[in-house]
Amino acid sequence: MSDTLELTKDLISRSSVTPEDAGCQAMLAERLEKIGFNIEHMRFGETDNLWARRGTEGPVFAFAGHTDVVPTGPEENWKFPPFQPTIDEGLLYGRGTADMKGSIACMVTACERFIEQNPQHKGSIAFLITSDEEGPAHDGTVKVIDTLKARNEKIDWCLVGEPSSTNKVCDVIKNGRRGSIGATLKVKGKQGHVAYPQLAKNPIHEFAPVLKILSETEWDQGNEFFPPTTFQVSNIHSGTGATNVIPGECEIVFNFRFSTAITDSIIRQKVEALLEQHNIDYEIDWALSGQAFLTERGDLVSAAQDAIKQVCEFDTELSTAGGTSDGRFIAPTGAQVVELGPRNATIHQVNECVAVDDLEILSDVYEKILYNLLK
């Protein structure tokens, strides 16, 4: 069993359902300390974070990832127990295999091999590992970044091990992500009897024309790297449950996934202007999950593309598709950020798995990236 596979299995065997770390970071810290990393454990609230750095000079290349995993769902629906890593027909099964304990294991073993051959590498190598990525993400990467900024410690290049690959490992590099802003909108009306609508004010009817406009608006046309901004309603709550009562208020929860062609402030302004224009009596609570970010072609993207070409012998695709990641907290510091990890076909699903061979390939690619940037 390879070092990468063994470490992946050790991590999976720990039931680290968010925000629990279950000792994963201590195990990682022990291995990294043996190869010259300075270890800092940063705990904020219920969240364990690890900042490990080897070297004191720039540029700083950081691996970023998370040890927490999503809940398993009914364990009886799994082919094998989700925290009992099992290999079957070349696939390693277990919660977190792809998202993203496998990536973390690949990062560590890539560093071990690289440092053995290059103990005097230039710059610094770092690890930023959290147990709060699958949860609210309030006390994880964002707090570590705040701590680093306060002491003028800067990441130049960051590789996030999120499962970016689609059909084969390393076929996609995520070099950016759309921004995400959500809102909870409360439209106020007046409760009454459905037989006397003139004595009431139906908030659903009041909001319906606005909803039609919001869903049909072209917010932007996107750009070379991003598709157009999208608007989606995720929840609507109203009514008493009775068929003969006009509701007194309606709560609508919605979300925008936006490109770099627009800003969150413009989105807010347009939505609120539309509500005012239609004389809606409302309260709105906005929540910005992350700004859109893009790492254009440069040192990090080139190093990753070249490494994949060397190891996999094919050209990889750049993409900004998908949801958010902790890269949204790192990119605003000025760091170049990419996401590169296993195939994402089974993430957050029953029977999450990763091909054993893919782990070896990914570890080799990570090692080549280190060579390309720091040798």
Residues taking part in catalysis: 68, 133
- Residue 201: phi and psi, rounded to 5, are -145, 110
Neighbours of 57 (CB within 10 A): 8
Structure tokens at 213: 């406009």
CB 318 within 8 A of CB 142: no
H-assigned helices in the chain: 3-12, 24-34, 102-117, 141-150, 203-216, 264-277, 299-312, 327-330, 356-374
Interstrand relation of 249-258 and 179-188 (parallel, antiparallel or unpaired): antiparallel
Sign, CA torsion 353/358/360/363 = negative
Q: What is the 3-state secondary structure (H, E, C) of 88-114?
A: ECCEEECCCHHHHHHHHHHHHHHHHHH
CB 280 within 8 A of CB 205: no
CB 174 within 8 A of CB 161: no
